[in-house]
Amino acid sequence: MDRRTERLGKNEAVFREVNERINEVTRDKAAKYHCECGHATCTETIFMTVADYEGLRSDATHFAVVPGHEEPDLEQIVARNEGFLLVQKRPGEPAALAVDLDPRS
């Protein structure tokens, strides 16, 4: 696996962990989640419902990112929502890393 793919994947896993904690403590039907892109300096947030979050987490290769934060060579856009994109890691190393680092797996 090349260094860029691994670095981005690990950064995404950290942001996904943050969102897991947000999801655990939110008592509302919606919350601000962290963009799950691979950019370590990203501070963007995504407003989505708990149902939206649970839906994207049903597949370990899915991530929610702010438009423009997607990595076309590593992931494809599978849905466009208000304020965020749902991306899926491409088969091979990107998808395998996402599954390996998934806290729900």
Under the banding of pLDDT at 50, 70 and 90, the label for residue 105 is confident
Under the banding of pLDDT at 50, 70 and 90, the label for residue 26 is confident
In angstroms, the CA 48 to CA 97 distance is 25
Non-local (6+) Cβ contacts of 55 within 8 A are: none
In angstroms, the CA 4 to CA 44 distance is 21
Residue with the larger pLDDT of the pair 42 and 105: 42
Q: What is the mean pLDDT of residues 3-21?
A: 95
- The domain limits of the chain are 3-100
Under the banding of pLDDT at 50, 70 and 90, the label for residue 1 is confident
Instruction: Tell me the sheet residues that pair with 81.
Output: 84
- Note the pLDDT tens digit of each residue in 31-70: 999 999 999 999 999 999 999 999 999 999 999 999 999 9
Q: Is 51 helix (H, G, I), strand (E, B) or coil?
A: helix
Q: Is 32 helix (H, G, I), strand (E, B) or coil?
A: strand
Instruction: Tell me the sheet residues that pair with 80.
Output: 85
pLDDT at 27 exceeding the cut of 80: no
